A and B are shown apart, each in its own frame.
Chain A
Amino acid sequence: MENANANDSRIRARDAATRMLNRITAGVAFGAIAGIGLVGAVSAYTIPGVVSSTQGATAGASTSSGSTSSSALQSSATSVSSSSGSGITVSGGS
């Protein structure tokens, strides 16, 4: 009788741990998906890859010699872009 009770409690403990394993795994998976969204949003905010132009620059590969002027870092026509003012990677990479 004692053995049966001990076995029952062990089975219950194992079932509870298995449920916990499934819950944590699902939580990690959903958290990771949410993490991609969150990190993507934060990275877009910090290094957006696109800076709005105040000078109406239309060329894809544009440079600005003055440190105060801004230029289009990534044009819609081509993906190659650079700016001597900002010094940041504007697209590509990982």
Chain B
Amino acid sequence: MNNTALWYTTRGAGAVSLVLLSAVVVLGVLSTLRFESTSWPRFLTTGLHRNIALTAVVFLALHIVTAVVDPFTHLGWLAAVVPFSSYYRTFWLGLGTIAFELLLAITATSLVRGLIGHAAWRAIHWLAYASWPVAVIHGFGTGTDTWSGWMLVIDLFCILAVSLAVGTRLLVQSPDPLADDRARFRERVSRKVTK
């Protein structure tokens, strides 16, 4: 594979990863909102959220590997691991490293969710809301195609989709699956107290 092909692959994998990450965020919000219909059971949303997140990690890895092995930039593996250690576009590449490491933390803790407990998993999962915008800013800062019309359309589509999902998340309360049980329990407790 020549250098130019590596460069094109890096750019392609970066754009595809952005789309996949945006889909992951939207699906994550939908699963929080417990979205379901007759033809779309709830576990389909969570299953897709998990599967596409793992796919996104693979494509992000491809984006990083092709960028590192591209001899034009001589990034080195350290830049892929340690944020802001790259001599080349230090700040923007550092943001990319941070976004990827946040995503790795989210993915790893999701895989061992049973071991670390729900509260810790949930706290780390909130990092997704930081990882996605950092990745978008990384793309705007260092992406070669950022100001190309087609890439602007992709960026705009992703930003709109995630904004809409997050906005809905903020406006609509996540339904409590135990609401009825809690109400019955409170009622029983209050009855006993009044007796």
The yes or no verdict on A and B being binding partners is yes
List 5 A–B pairs whose Cβ atoms lie within 8 Å, in order of A's numbering. A28-B20, A28-B48, A32-B19, A47-B144, A92-B88
Q: Which of A1-9, A33-41, A64-72 contacts B (4 or more CB under 8 A)?
A: A33-41
Q: How large is the interface on A (under 10, 10 to 19, 20 to 34, 35 or more residues)?
A: 20 to 34
Determine whether A11 belongs to the interface, using a CB cutoff of 8 Å to chain B.
no
A38 / chain B contacts, CB cutoff of 8 Å: 12
A31 to B: closest C-beta gap in Å: 9
Q: Are B13 and A21 in contact (CB under 8 A)?
A: no
A89 CA / B10 CA spacing, docked (Å):
15
A91 to B: closest C-beta gap in Å: 5
Q: Are B143 and A49 in contact (CB under 8 A)?
A: no
Q: Are A91 and B8 in contact (CB under 8 A)?
A: no
Instruction: Point out residues on B near A: beta carbons under 8 Å.
Output: 3-4, 7-16, 19-20, 23, 40-41, 43-44, 47-48, 51-52, 55, 59, 62-63, 67, 70-73, 88-89, 93, 96, 142-145, 148, 150-151
B111 to A: closest C-beta gap in Å: 17
The 9 closest A-B pairs by CB, nearest first: A40-B12, A36-B12, A40-B8, A39-B12, A92-B72, A25-B51, A35-B16, A79-B72, A92-B73
